[in-house]
Amino acid sequence: MSKYVGILTAGGDSPGLNAAIRGVGKAAQGTYGMQVIGFRDGFRGLMQNRTVRLSGGELSGILTLGGTILGTSRDKPHKMPVGSQTMDMTEVIVDTYNRHSLDALVCLGGGGTQKNAYHLQQHGLNVITLPKTIDNDVAMTDLTFGFDTALGIATEAIDRLHSTAHSHHRIIVVEVMGHNAGWLALGAGIAGGADVILLPEIDYDIGVVAEAINRRRRRGSGFSIVAVSEGAFSVDDRAKYKKARKRLKKAETEEAREKAAAKLAGVQSHLQDKTLHLSRQLEQLTGLVSRVTILGHLQRGGTPSAADRLLATRLGTACAGLINDGVFGVMVAARGNKTEAVPLEDVVGKRKTVPLDHDWIQTARDIGVCLGDG
């Protein structure tokens, strides 16, 4: 009897999603004789039963496309905005799953999607996930698809900014995505020849950064490139943030809580512009003009790289094989040149950050890159 498989993409868009959809769909249908349908716009489309049949025609020509043909959203099954309310729509999603007589639901996404899929598994659904994110921070997998493409885009941006930095003798501060993990900033910074790389994993001392730039100027280099992850903290900002949170936690009266909450909100507001604040500080401490380039969602778009297409296709076809074998409740992880089915319970609630003893960290130090810590 033919098996029925549903696919959705959730969270932020990422290069390689369409390649993964294609890999799952073509292998499931062509190799294992399954029927495949897609749900539009993530878990919201699953809740609303908005589907598209993923036959050969729908899977044709999508390998090189960025984004996702299914659309995506960040909605959670158990915290779904419905009108003016936030509701638990888990049972509605379970009903949709059963209505289509699905044997499996494939969820493509990052850390949040792994959690949401695990939630559905605990409510009786057969789920399998594939790890995607440009941040490369999903636990228990060597790589996530989307990372290689974003790495190339960020590297090319740093390459292009070298010429204007050199011509005008400026500091160019390039903000790269990565809230809690510095893989993208570190990789692009090394590959693009950045002079300073600031990561979420290493709080930086602004004085150390300024001195590194001044030292370059004394040696005859009148410009510097600073690659900074959006999640990087200065030592001072981290201390202020921790102090504000601690004050709110210890507040005993309503008045004290209100004051502490207002203080924390002020710190958080400042942190939203911390890359611009970094640029202004460097101007003051070095006497050089500093300019900021925030790459933002530019890193998510465009044609996926060959490496991301290959990785997404490998993971997708492996996923179809696991469904055929009746293996569920797992994430399909990349392990060297192979794939591995990792239980979702081992993935959720974890994040893969850059280890301080990682080879990339040591490589950066060995070529004289300042990481802000001395």
Could you list the active site residues?
A: 135
How many other C-beta atoms can be found within 10 angstroms of the C-beta atom of residue 72? 24
Structural tokens at position 179: 């809230």
Phi, psi of 347 (to 5 degrees): -105, -45
- Beta-carbon contacts of 122 under 8 Å, excluding residues fewer than 6 positions away, are none
Can you tell me the distance from the alpha carbon of 359 to that of 182, in angstroms, rounded to the nearest whole number? 13
What is the C-alpha separation between 325 and 30, in angstroms, rounded? 16
CB atoms under 10 Å from CB of 60, counted, come to: 10
Question: What are the structure tokens assigned to 140, written together?
Answer: 């228990």
> Which residues are CB-neighbours of 57 under 8 A, at least 6 positions away?
none
